[in-house]
Structure 1
Protein backbone atom coordinates (compact mmCIF):
# COMPACT_ATOMS: atom_id res chain seq x y z
CA UNK A 1 0.00 0.00 0.00
CA UNK A 2 1.22 3.50 -0.85
CA UNK A 3 2.15 5.71 2.09
CA UNK A 4 2.91 9.30 2.99
CA UNK A 5 5.66 10.59 5.23
CA UNK A 6 4.05 12.60 8.07
CA UNK A 7 6.26 14.94 10.04
CA UNK A 8 4.93 17.14 12.82
CA UNK A 9 7.24 19.70 14.41
CA UNK A 10 6.82 22.57 16.85
CA UNK A 11 9.31 25.29 17.79
CA UNK A 12 10.40 23.04 20.69
CA UNK A 13 10.58 19.52 19.25
CA UNK A 14 9.83 16.96 16.59
CA UNK A 15 6.50 15.42 17.66
CA UNK A 16 6.17 12.75 15.00
CA UNK A 17 7.90 11.30 11.94
CA UNK A 18 6.06 8.27 10.54
CA UNK A 19 4.97 6.61 7.30
CA UNK A 20 1.17 6.73 7.23
CA UNK A 21 -1.72 5.86 4.91
CA UNK A 22 -3.88 8.97 5.44
CA UNK A 23 -3.75 12.36 7.17
CA UNK A 24 -6.75 14.50 8.17
CA UNK A 25 -6.05 17.94 9.59
CA UNK A 26 -7.97 21.01 10.83
CA UNK A 27 -7.34 23.64 8.19
CA UNK A 28 -8.23 27.23 8.95
CA UNK A 29 -11.13 26.98 6.45
CA UNK A 30 -12.17 23.45 7.50
CA UNK A 31 -10.77 19.96 7.75
CA UNK A 32 -8.82 18.53 4.83
CA UNK A 33 -7.61 15.02 4.05
CA UNK A 34 -4.49 13.78 2.28
CA UNK A 35 -3.90 10.43 0.59
CA UNK A 36 -0.74 9.30 -1.24
CA UNK A 37 -0.06 11.14 -4.53
CA UNK A 38 -2.06 14.22 -3.41
CA UNK A 39 -1.53 17.43 -5.34
CA UNK A 40 0.93 19.81 -3.61
CA UNK A 41 -0.63 22.51 -1.46
CA UNK A 42 -0.14 24.65 1.64
CA UNK A 43 -2.75 25.33 4.32
CA UNK A 44 -2.88 27.32 7.53
CA UNK A 45 -3.96 25.18 10.49
CA UNK A 46 -6.70 25.94 12.96
CA UNK A 47 -7.24 24.52 16.42
CA UNK A 48 -8.26 20.89 16.48
CA UNK A 49 -7.29 17.28 16.10
CA UNK A 50 -5.09 15.97 13.34
CA UNK A 51 -5.67 12.28 12.73
CA UNK A 52 -3.74 9.78 10.70
CA UNK A 53 -4.04 6.13 9.78
CA UNK A 54 -1.15 3.79 10.19
CA UNK A 55 -1.55 0.05 9.58
CA UNK A 56 -5.30 0.63 9.39
CA UNK A 57 -5.48 2.16 12.89
CA UNK A 58 -6.43 5.75 13.70
CA UNK A 59 -4.08 7.92 15.77
CA UNK A 60 -4.65 11.46 17.02
CA UNK A 61 -2.56 14.58 17.61
CA UNK A 62 -3.87 17.88 19.00
CA UNK A 63 -2.61 20.85 16.96
CA UNK A 64 -3.05 24.57 17.43
CA UNK A 65 -2.01 26.98 14.72
CA UNK A 66 0.74 26.73 12.16
CA UNK A 67 0.89 25.37 8.62
CA UNK A 68 0.69 22.08 6.75
CA UNK A 69 2.53 21.52 3.48
CA UNK A 70 1.80 18.61 1.14
CA UNK A 71 4.41 17.79 -1.49
CA UNK A 72 5.95 14.63 -3.00
CA UNK A 73 4.06 12.19 -0.76
CA UNK A 74 5.09 14.07 2.37
CA UNK A 75 2.93 16.03 4.80
CA UNK A 76 4.95 18.46 6.90
CA UNK A 77 3.13 20.12 9.79
CA UNK A 78 4.76 23.15 11.40
CA UNK A 79 2.53 23.73 14.42
CA UNK A 80 2.65 26.30 17.19
CA UNK A 81 1.50 23.55 19.58
CA UNK A 82 1.19 19.79 18.97
CA UNK A 83 0.58 16.97 21.45
CA UNK A 84 0.00 13.29 20.79
CA UNK A 85 -3.22 12.06 22.40
CA UNK A 86 -1.13 9.90 24.74
CA UNK A 87 0.70 13.02 26.02
CA UNK A 88 -2.40 15.03 26.90
CA UNK A 89 -3.08 15.66 30.58
CA UNK A 90 -6.89 15.62 30.72
CA UNK A 91 -7.00 17.09 34.25
CA UNK A 92 -4.90 20.06 33.14
CA UNK A 93 -7.02 20.52 30.00
CA UNK A 94 -10.24 20.33 32.06
CA UNK A 95 -8.96 23.00 34.44
CA UNK A 96 -7.98 25.20 31.47
CA UNK A 97 -11.49 24.69 30.05
CA UNK A 98 -13.07 25.74 33.36
CA UNK A 99 -10.86 28.86 33.57
CA UNK A 100 -11.71 29.81 29.98
CA UNK A 101 -15.44 29.36 30.63
CA UNK A 102 -15.23 31.52 33.76
CA UNK A 103 -13.30 34.24 31.91
CA UNK A 104 -15.80 34.11 29.05
CA UNK A 105 -18.66 35.00 31.36
CA UNK A 106 -16.66 37.86 32.86
CA UNK A 107 -15.15 39.14 29.60
CA UNK A 108 -15.93 42.77 28.96
CA UNK A 109 -13.82 43.59 25.93
CA UNK A 110 -14.14 41.95 22.54
CA UNK A 111 -10.43 41.05 22.35
CA UNK A 112 -10.68 39.39 25.76
CA UNK A 113 -13.66 37.39 24.52
CA UNK A 114 -11.77 36.22 21.42
CA UNK A 115 -8.79 35.09 23.54
CA UNK A 116 -11.10 33.20 25.86
CA UNK A 117 -12.88 31.51 22.96
CA UNK A 118 -9.52 30.33 21.59
CA UNK A 119 -8.43 29.04 25.03
CA UNK A 120 -11.74 27.22 25.42
CA UNK A 121 -11.45 25.66 21.95
CA UNK A 122 -7.88 24.49 22.67
CA UNK A 123 -8.93 22.87 25.96
CA UNK A 124 -11.97 21.15 24.45
CA UNK A 125 -9.94 19.93 21.44
CA UNK A 126 -7.28 18.44 23.75
CA UNK A 127 -9.94 16.60 25.74
CA UNK A 128 -11.62 15.36 22.56
CA UNK A 129 -8.27 14.25 21.12
CA UNK A 130 -7.45 12.26 24.25
CA UNK A 131 -10.93 10.72 24.27
CA UNK A 132 -10.78 9.90 20.54
CA UNK A 133 -7.58 7.96 21.06
CA UNK A 134 -9.00 6.22 24.11
CA UNK A 135 -12.19 5.21 22.32
CA UNK A 136 -10.28 3.95 19.30
CA UNK A 137 -7.90 2.06 21.58
CA UNK A 138 -4.95 2.93 19.36
CA UNK A 139 -3.13 5.79 21.11
Structure 2
Protein backbone atom coordinates (compact mmCIF):
# COMPACT_ATOMS: atom_id res chain seq x y z
CA UNK A 1 0.00 0.00 0.00
CA UNK A 2 1.23 3.51 -0.70
CA UNK A 3 0.58 7.03 0.51
CA UNK A 4 -1.31 9.74 -1.32
CA UNK A 5 0.70 12.89 -1.87
CA UNK A 6 -0.31 16.29 -3.17
CA UNK A 7 2.02 19.22 -3.81
CA UNK A 8 0.21 22.56 -4.13
CA UNK A 9 1.22 26.17 -4.74
CA UNK A 10 -1.19 29.09 -4.25
CA UNK A 11 -2.15 29.00 -7.93
CA UNK A 12 -1.84 25.39 -9.10
CA UNK A 13 -1.57 21.70 -8.27
CA UNK A 14 2.01 20.56 -8.95
CA UNK A 15 1.31 16.86 -8.49
CA UNK A 16 -1.28 14.55 -7.03
CA UNK A 17 0.03 11.00 -6.93
CA UNK A 18 0.96 8.07 -4.74
CA UNK A 19 4.34 7.25 -3.25
CA UNK A 20 5.94 4.48 -1.22
CA UNK A 21 8.25 6.93 0.54
CA UNK A 22 8.57 10.72 0.79
CA UNK A 23 11.54 12.78 1.94
CA UNK A 24 10.75 16.40 2.85
CA UNK A 25 13.22 19.30 3.28
CA UNK A 26 12.45 20.27 6.89
CA UNK A 27 13.86 23.36 8.59
CA UNK A 28 16.17 21.25 10.76
CA UNK A 29 16.94 18.50 8.26
CA UNK A 30 15.27 15.93 6.07
CA UNK A 31 12.04 14.28 7.17
CA UNK A 32 11.42 10.76 5.92
CA UNK A 33 7.80 9.65 5.65
CA UNK A 34 6.69 6.04 5.26
CA UNK A 35 3.26 4.42 5.36
CA UNK A 36 1.72 4.66 8.83
CA UNK A 37 3.67 7.80 9.83
CA UNK A 38 2.31 9.68 12.84
CA UNK A 39 0.25 12.79 12.18
CA UNK A 40 2.47 15.83 11.79
CA UNK A 41 2.45 19.41 10.56
CA UNK A 42 5.88 20.87 9.82
CA UNK A 43 7.49 23.87 8.17
CA UNK A 44 9.57 23.21 5.07
CA UNK A 45 12.77 24.85 3.94
CA UNK A 46 13.87 25.56 0.40
CA UNK A 47 15.24 22.26 -0.83
CA UNK A 48 14.53 18.95 -2.50
CA UNK A 49 11.34 16.95 -2.01
CA UNK A 50 11.79 13.33 -3.10
CA UNK A 51 9.02 10.87 -3.93
CA UNK A 52 9.72 7.15 -4.26
CA UNK A 53 7.35 4.95 -6.23
CA UNK A 54 8.23 1.49 -7.57
CA UNK A 55 11.92 1.88 -6.59
CA UNK A 56 12.24 5.12 -8.62
CA UNK A 57 12.87 8.53 -7.04
CA UNK A 58 11.28 11.71 -8.41
CA UNK A 59 12.77 15.02 -7.20
CA UNK A 60 10.88 18.33 -6.88
CA UNK A 61 12.62 21.55 -5.82
CA UNK A 62 10.50 23.41 -3.25
CA UNK A 63 10.75 27.04 -2.21
CA UNK A 64 9.62 26.88 1.42
CA UNK A 65 6.19 25.99 2.77
CA UNK A 66 4.33 23.57 5.03
CA UNK A 67 3.58 19.85 5.04
CA UNK A 68 0.77 17.95 6.72
CA UNK A 69 1.00 14.21 7.23
CA UNK A 70 -2.20 12.45 8.30
CA UNK A 71 -3.47 8.89 7.73
CA UNK A 72 -1.15 7.99 4.83
CA UNK A 73 -1.86 11.31 3.16
CA UNK A 74 0.88 13.92 2.67
CA UNK A 75 -0.18 17.43 1.66
CA UNK A 76 2.60 19.86 0.80
CA UNK A 77 1.75 23.56 0.51
CA UNK A 78 4.61 25.57 -0.94
CA UNK A 79 5.28 29.12 -2.04
CA UNK A 80 6.69 27.96 -5.37
CA UNK A 81 8.47 25.08 -7.07
CA UNK A 82 11.31 25.10 -9.55
CA UNK A 83 10.81 23.12 -12.73
CA UNK A 84 13.42 20.45 -13.44
CA UNK A 85 13.90 20.90 -17.16
CA UNK A 86 17.16 20.00 -18.88
CA UNK A 87 19.52 20.40 -15.94
CA UNK A 88 23.14 19.52 -16.68
CA UNK A 89 25.49 18.53 -13.85
CA UNK A 90 28.29 20.84 -15.03
CA UNK A 91 25.88 23.78 -15.25
CA UNK A 92 24.31 23.29 -11.82
CA UNK A 93 27.74 22.71 -10.27
CA UNK A 94 28.89 26.07 -11.62
CA UNK A 95 25.74 27.71 -10.22
CA UNK A 96 26.51 26.12 -6.84
CA UNK A 97 30.04 27.52 -6.89
CA UNK A 98 28.75 31.01 -7.78
CA UNK A 99 26.13 30.85 -5.02
CA UNK A 100 28.77 29.79 -2.48
CA UNK A 101 30.98 32.73 -3.47
CA UNK A 102 28.00 35.10 -3.28
CA UNK A 103 27.32 34.04 0.33
CA UNK A 104 30.97 34.49 1.25
CA UNK A 105 31.21 37.95 -0.34
CA UNK A 106 27.83 39.35 0.81
CA UNK A 107 28.30 42.62 2.66
CA UNK A 108 24.85 43.31 4.09
CA UNK A 109 22.43 41.12 6.01
CA UNK A 110 19.87 41.29 3.17
CA UNK A 111 22.49 40.33 0.60
CA UNK A 112 23.59 37.45 2.83
CA UNK A 113 20.00 36.18 3.22
CA UNK A 114 19.32 36.42 -0.52
CA UNK A 115 22.59 34.65 -1.30
CA UNK A 116 21.84 31.92 1.26
CA UNK A 117 18.46 31.27 -0.39
CA UNK A 118 20.12 30.99 -3.80
CA UNK A 119 22.69 28.62 -2.28
CA UNK A 120 19.87 26.36 -1.00
CA UNK A 121 18.27 26.32 -4.46
CA UNK A 122 21.61 25.59 -6.15
CA UNK A 123 22.28 22.73 -3.71
CA UNK A 124 18.80 21.30 -4.41
CA UNK A 125 19.45 21.48 -8.18
CA UNK A 126 22.67 19.47 -7.80
CA UNK A 127 20.87 16.87 -5.67
CA UNK A 128 18.02 16.71 -8.21
CA UNK A 129 20.41 16.11 -11.11
CA UNK A 130 22.04 13.29 -9.15
CA UNK A 131 18.62 11.62 -8.66
CA UNK A 132 17.68 12.06 -12.30
CA UNK A 133 20.91 10.56 -13.66
TM-score norm. by structure 1 comes to 0.80
RMSD after superposition: 2.3
Q: Distance in 2 between matches of 1:26 and 1:106?
A: 26
Structure 1 unmatched runs, 5+:
135-139
Give the Å deviation of 1:57.
1.4
Q: 1:11 to 1:97 in 2, by over 3 A?
A: farther
Q: Does 1:44 align with 2:43?
A: yes
Give the Å deviation of 1:44.
0.4
Does the CA contact (< 8 Å) of 1:23 and 1:33 recur in 2?
yes
The worse-fitting range, judged by mean Cα deviation, of 16-25 and 99-108 is 99-108
Does the CA contact (< 8 Å) of 1:39 and 1:71 recur in 2?
yes
Map of 1:67 onto structure 2: 66
Give secondary structure in 1 for the equivalent of 2:17.
strand
Give the Å deviation of 1:37.
1.6
Does the CA contact (< 8 Å) of 1:59 and 1:133 recur in 2?
yes
Number of equivalent positions: 132
TM-score norm. by structure 2 comes to 0.83
The superposition leaves residues 31-54 of structure 1 with CA deviations (integer Å, 9 ceiling, x where unpaired) of 111111211100100121111111
Give secondary structure in 2 for the equivalent of 1:38.
coil
Q: 1:92 to 1:64 in 2, by over 3 A?
A: farther
Question: Residues 6-21 of structure 1 correspond to what in structure 2 (within 5 A)?
Answer: 6-21=5-20
